[in-house]
Structure 1
């Protein structure tokens, strides 16, 4: 993973993306919202899924326990190239469709119905400084979103699992 090219999302906002690796997470009614999110993502292109993992909330403490998350990585090969900015808007709207509530009262346990994070992107084949060949043998031509790296353990496991089916 360390050999993958990293890039700040804001530097590629307008670039056309053809494939994306996402991290999905839910700590509230995951059995309802993960299938809904996967169904909506499938409408955008071909979907491959990693194993779903149940993980404790890393911000939980003994004084403030929090519900576990169900996490899953998704590889989405888009039917039509879309800018990263458009993808971010689409995923935020999908979170809203899953009743995501971003506002919480202080000291209230946050119920996250759906969280969608972009881990990696593959740009359309256009010649620019970002489309140069990657040295990674794991997932050549992929760009890691620098704000998401290093990946959490479940994200890295999901990306590795998907990499085996992508290449």
Structure 2
């Protein structure tokens, strides 16, 4: 993944340069779910059906890998995103994933070392994707984004909204 982070504007709510988006992850999850249901219910040749199901799975795993790559890039820049969820992701014309809404993102201290925790604003982000330490208001670090990614990855795999029951 290639990209740059404009550190000067990270906390500015109205300084946003956005490529034209053609789809959001939230919408794509709904489309994948409908497509999976239609493949299960449709008749036809088993081999063809399995190829379509396999392709749908491959597409979803590619998106998950792209999200992981974007998160890895942010973490390499010592930036914690803090609000990873489908509503904050979209796709450009080429199908590349784009993260947006950096309103809760924070840059870690320059001397940050992996594993070090910070007491930051508690209860930031969306509860469904929030790491337990964030919800409890105890010190946390970049690993809270990894927890959110795990929940998001489960959603991409299962094609269901987590904790909806």
TM-score, with length taken from structure 2: 0.27
Q: Computing the radius of gyration over CA atoms, which structure comes out larger, 1 or 2?
A: 2
Q: Please state which structure has a larger fraction of its residues in strand.
A: 1
Q: More relative contact order in 1 or in 2 (CA 8 Å, sep 6+)?
A: 1
Q: Please state which structure has a larger fraction of its residues in helix.
A: 2
